[in-house]
Structure 1
Amino acid sequence: MLINFLNVTFILFFIGLSGIFFNRKNILLLLMAIEIMLLAISCNWTFLAFYIDDLLGQLFSILILIVAAAEASLGLSILILFYRVKSTISVELVNLTKN
């Protein structure tokens, strides 16, 4: 039973990792791929904590979800400001904002 849950988290993690490698043009999709990876790690901690009956893994899972929420809010706010300035969300034009 645990192996099936770990396989699901493994697949979710590699979906997020492939989203980062195959999509280099859209910032929004990169943020979504990072969120999927953090969700997979959080689920992994939760499943393992449930399996060994430990509360510390669930605490780490909540901590990871808090960090993911903070990362998403900051990333989306930067994305909105970048869109207002450049009228696009292409990663290729990020280098133009160094001035």
Structure 2
Amino acid sequence: MADEKAPAKKEVAVKTLKDVYQVYTDKAAKSPTGEFEFSLLETYDVEFTSDFKNIKKGYKMNGISKVAFDLYNANGVVDLINKNEAPKEEEEN
């Protein structure tokens, strides 16, 4: 009888927060000011397109931060439903 082995599962490298922050660092290095800025008040509504860690495909999250969105997006596990812009400051007269 031949020695048969099940095909090995292809391991996919999971992107981490360290990878996301490195992207921010790279963008800052390319900017004229040496900074990368984004709004902490801007949020994202997403739907998971595949399982990721303990989150199942089809799960929807509302109001996640840019950092969380960038992490899930870098791993290719979410579709953007809506981007919620940061509230505008009211001008004083």
TM-score, structure 1 normalization: 0.31
- The alignment's TM-score, normalised by the length of structure 2, stands at 0.32
**Larger strand proportion, structure 1 or 2?**
2
Hey, which of these two has a bigger chunk of helix by percent? 1
